[in-house]
Amino acid sequence: MANNRIAYGLAKKFGIDTAGKSPGEVWELLKKHGVTEENAEGELKKQSEEKRESLENKYNSELEININKLPKAIGFNRPKTHHHQRHISELGYKNEREYIKGAIDFWENGKGEIYLSTKRNKYAKYDEKTGKYVVCDKAGRINTFFYIKHKRFDKYIKQEGYELWKK
């Protein structure tokens, strides 16, 4: 059985004023829109999927990637996360500033192959010799920088939809 929070959430979707109304009264108003307690969860799931799809379409249309030109690294996206703090020590950097500089330097000057994921609207650079791996978005923000073994890298790029970038 759907809970009362679902009733109020769906009421908002249909523009129903719920001020001062009990959950029972909200369910009665929702019945006029064909929503019952039995089908409410399915309706809410449908609403969530529509919203997600709408956001994905908006995001993807705004992030058309220029496959002919690599972005210049301009900074780092979210370097203070636990994930990135762990990579700082793994790569042997003393602090966040060194890690960011290392990631930008590797993106701009390091050796390795460039990969493109139109699925993710991102580029990746991987140096098989050193195992260094960096991901950069189309705006030039570094998303992550770490070591990865070649076997794991091969699996990862397939999973994420990366293909070798052709200049």
pLDDT band at 133 (very low <50, low <70, confident <90, very high): very high
Q: What is the mean pLDDT of the chain?
A: 81
Instruction: Record the pTM.
Output: 0.58
Please give the average per-residue pLDDT across 100-110, as a whole number. Answer: 91
Name the more confident of 135 and 30: 135
User: CA 35, CA 45: separation in Å to the nearest integer?
Assistant: 13
Q: What is the pLDDT, as a whole number, of residue 57?
A: 59
Q: In the chain, what percentage of residues exceed pLDDT 90?
A: 22
